[in-house]
C-alpha cells in the first residue's frame, strides 16, 4: 500500500499529461500526493521510501528506484514468449556493428530500439549512414533490439492490469483499422506466466490486414492515450509495489 505519491513538475507546472492523469487518479483514490522537480530529487531533497511512488520521466523514476537500492527493470520490448505475434525477424546488435555493416555497403533498413536501458532513445529506422546522427552521442557498444521494418497503417495500445484489459488507446495511423481482438487476447494469455502486474501491449495493423505486435511497454513508460485516471494510477501503483516487493531491502 502506498503512503504517498510524488508527481513531477517542470518549471512550476505538472511535467506531462501522464503526470497530470496520475495526479487526478491518486487524488480520487485518496492517496496523498506531493510535487517535486528534478533538481530536488537529484539533490536528495525528496523523502523517498519504498511505499512512496514517484511519477515522472524514466530518468526520474529510475533515479528514485536506484536511490532506494532497487534495480530498475529492463525494457519489456518484444518478449520471446510472444514471438508468434511479431510477424518479423528480431535480433540483437549494437550501433557499432550496424555502422560497420552500412559502411561496408551491406546494411539494410532496420528498426532499432534500446535493448537493456528503457527509453535510452526513441526507436526509429536506420536506412543509411546519415540515420545514425540522432544517436551519435550514444556509445558504439549500446545494445539494440533490431527488427525488420514493417509498415503499420494503424497502431493501438491495450492497457493491461493483472491480465485484464482496462483501456484501449489509438495513437497512430487510420483510426478505422482495428486490430484483431482474438490475436490480442491470445497474446495476453501467452504472456501471463511472465507478465508484470501492469503493462501496455501495442498492436498494429499492416496494409495486408495482419495484426502484429509492435512492442510491450512497462507501466512506468506509458502514455495515457485517454486511459481513465483511476485506472492509470492503479496500474502505476501495482507495478511499483511489484518491483519493490520483488527486491530485498538494502542493509
Write the pLDDT tens digit of every residue in 89-145.
Answer: 999 999 999 999 999 988 889 999 898 877 788 889 999 999 999 999 999 999 999
> Same structural domain for residues 70 and 96?
no
Q: Last residue of a domain, which of 131, 147, 163?
A: 147
Please tell me the distance from the alpha carbon of residue 81 to that of residue 42, in angstroms, as a whole number. 37
Q: Last residue of a domain, which of 29, 50, 74?
A: 74
Q: Which of 14-28, 108-122, 142-156 has the lowest mean pLDDT?
A: 108-122
pLDDT of 251 higher than 60: no
Domain CATH code at residue 135: 3.30.1490.20
Q: Last residue of a domain, which of 46, 74, 102?
A: 74
216 domain-assigned: no
Question: Domain of 94?
Answer: 89-147
Q: How far apart are the first and last CA of the chain?
A: 22
Overall pTM > 0.95: no
229 domain-assigned: no
> Same structural domain for residues 30 and 62?
yes
141 domain-assigned: yes
> Same structural domain for residues 13 and 53?
yes
95 domain-assigned: yes
Q: What is the pLDDT of residues 187-212, one digit of tens each?
A: 999 999 999 999 999 999 999 999 99
68 domain-assigned: yes
97 domain-assigned: yes
Q: What is the pLDDT of residue 250?
A: 57
121 domain-assigned: yes
What is the pLDDT confidence band of residue 249, given thresholds at 50, 70 and 90?
low
Contacts of 105 (CB under 8 A, 6+ apart): none
Name the domain count of the chain.
2
Q: What is the pLDDT of residue 117?
A: 79
136 domain-assigned: yes
Q: Contact 230/238 with Cβ under 8 angstroms?
A: no
Amino acid at each position: 500500500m502506498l503512503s504517498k505519491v510524488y508527481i513531477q513538475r517542470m518549471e512550476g507546472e505538472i511535467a506531462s499529461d501522464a503526470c497530470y492523469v496520475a495526479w487526478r487518479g491518486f487524488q480520487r483514490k485518496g492517496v496523498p500526493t506531493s510535487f517535486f522537480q528534478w533538481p530536488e530529487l537529484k539533490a536528495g531533497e525528496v523523502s523517498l521510501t519504498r511505499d512512496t511512488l514517484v511519477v515522472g520521466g524514466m530518468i526520474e523514476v529510475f533515479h528514485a528506484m536506484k536511490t532506494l537500492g532497487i534495480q530498475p527493470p529492463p525494457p519489456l520490448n518484444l518478449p520471446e514468449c510472444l514471438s508468434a505475434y511479431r510477424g518479423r525477424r528480431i535480433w540483437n546488435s549494437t550501433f557499432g556493428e550496424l555502422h560497420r555493416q552500412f559502411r561496408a555497403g551491406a546494411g539494410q533498413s532496420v528498426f532499432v530500439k534500446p535493448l537493456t536501458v528503457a527509453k535510452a532513445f526513441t526507436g526509429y529506422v536506420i536506412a543509411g549512414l546519415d540515420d545514425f546522427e540522432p544517436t551519435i552521442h550514444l556509445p558504439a557498444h549500446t545494445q539494440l533490439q533490431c527488427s525488420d521494418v514493417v509498415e503499420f497503417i494503424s497502431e493501438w495500445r491495450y492497457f493491461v492490469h493483472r491480465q485484464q484489459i482496462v483501456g484501449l488507446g489509438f495513437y497512430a495511423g487510420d483510426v478505422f483499422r482495428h486490430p484483431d481482438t482474438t490475436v490480442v487476447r491470445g497474446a495476453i494469455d501467452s504472456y501471463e506466466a511472465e507478465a508484470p502486474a501492469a503493462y501496455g501491449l501495442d498492436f498494429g495493423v499492416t496494409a495486408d490486414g495482419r495484426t502484429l505486435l509492435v512492442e510491450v511497454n512497462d507501466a512506468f513508460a506509458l502514455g495515457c492515450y485517454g486511459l481513465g485516471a483511476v485506472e492509470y494510477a492503479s496500474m502505476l501503483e501495482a507495478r511499483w509495489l511489484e518491483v519493490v516487493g520483488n527486491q530485498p531491502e538494502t542493509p
